[in-house]
Amino acid sequence: MQEVEILAFDVFGTVVDWHGSIAREVEALNLGVDGGEFALAWRAGYRPAMQRVMSGELGWTLIDDLHRGILDDVLAQFGITSLTESQKRNLNRVWHRLEPWPDAVEGLSRLKQRFMICTLSNGNLGLLANMAKRVGLAWDCLLSAEVFRQYKPHPDTYLGVAQVFDVPAEAVMMVAAHQDDLDSARSYGLKTAYIERPNEFGAANPKDIAGSPANDRHAGSIIALAEQLGC
């Protein structure tokens, strides 16, 4: 069996806590809304917005720009009219400021000692770089939908990792907290590792963390995955 050389990580939800981070920033703005509900509504617009691009309704669009369009809709949904344009731009960049899960920084640093570690996110490169720099995520390489001009789950994203590093698909392991992401990666020949994030959508909305028995690995954290892989 081909030895894994590259670990490609989903980022939003797997490495960083988008819900908690956004909820805290929204609450700090004193907008009179529940920060957690606002975060969920913003995230709920993510897939429909990407689908507009994938269907051809919109041309290629960075996630930063999709996030801004969704934000405008969510502000209207919550009846928020007090923010200036500058404040809206700053709030949209909360996605650059997402906090890592407590195990992420140490776990990635340990895995980096043995493997090439990279992002494979729909987030754009500037967003991923700002996030990594701010909190110390030790990526060897940033790969994103922006590189391949296709969002996950398009095959060009998963197979693009293997092409960038000139290795067979089975030498790449996709690491994610989302089973649909892993199912897509596996269908194109990648290995898969599932990370449990029961509170991705907030403590009040725990999610199923059973994963799939088809995954090559299942770990409760990135540190636990590092231990499984001998790091």
Which tokens go with 3?
Answer: 């030895």
The whole domain housing 168 covers 6-17+99-228
Final residue of a domain: which of 44, 72, 96? 96
Domain of residue 51, CATH code: 1.10.150.240
Beta-ladder partners of 144: 121
Sheet holding 172-176, edge to edge: 141-144, 116-121, 6-9, 172-176, 191-195, 217-219
| pLDDT tens-digit readout, 16-43 | 999 999 999 999 999 999 999 999 999 9
pLDDT in the model for residue 2: 67
Give the tens place of pLDDT for each residue, 74-93. Answer: 999 999 999 999 999 999 99
Which pairs count as long-range contacts for 128-135, CB under 8 Å and 24+ apart, including other chains? 128/11, 130/96, 130/97, 131/11, 131/16, 131/95, 131/96, 131/97, 131/98, 134/96, 134/97, 135/16, 135/99, 135/100, 135/105
- Residue 194's identity, in one-letter code, is Y
Among 42, 62, 96, identify where a domain stops: 96
Q: Are 75 and 88 in contact (CB under 8 A)?
A: yes
In a domain, 1, yes or no: no
- Phi, psi dihedral angles at 44 (to 5 degrees): -65, -25
* Gap between the Cα atoms of 11 and 121, Å rounded: 6
Q: How far apart are CA 158 and CA 151, in angstroms?
A: 10
If you search the block for the tokens 């081909």, which residue do you land on?
2
Q: Which residues contact 169 (CB under 8 A, 6 or more apart)?
A: 158, 159, 162, 188, 189, 190
Note whether 47 and 62 are same-domain residues: yes
CB 228 within 8 A of CB 41: no
pTM: 0.95
Distance, CA of 135 to CA of 126 (rounded, Å): 15
Backbone torsion region of residue 217, taken as left when φ is above 0, otherwise alpha when ψ lies between -120 and 50, otherwise beta: beta
Over residues 85-128, the pLDDT tens digits come to 999 999 999 999 999 999 999 999 999 999 999 999 999 999 99
The answer to whether residues 217 and 167 belong to one domain is yes
Q: Is residue 194 part of a domain?
A: yes
Relative orientation angle of helices 46-54 and 35-44, to the nearest 10 degrees? 20
What CATH number corresponds to the domain at position 116? 3.40.50.1000
- How far is it, in rounded angstroms, from Cα 217 to Cα 174? 10
Residues 45 and 158 in one domain: no
Average pLDDT estimate for 171-197? 98
Interatomic CA distance for residues 207 and 131, integer angstroms: 25
Average of pLDDT values for 157-176? 98
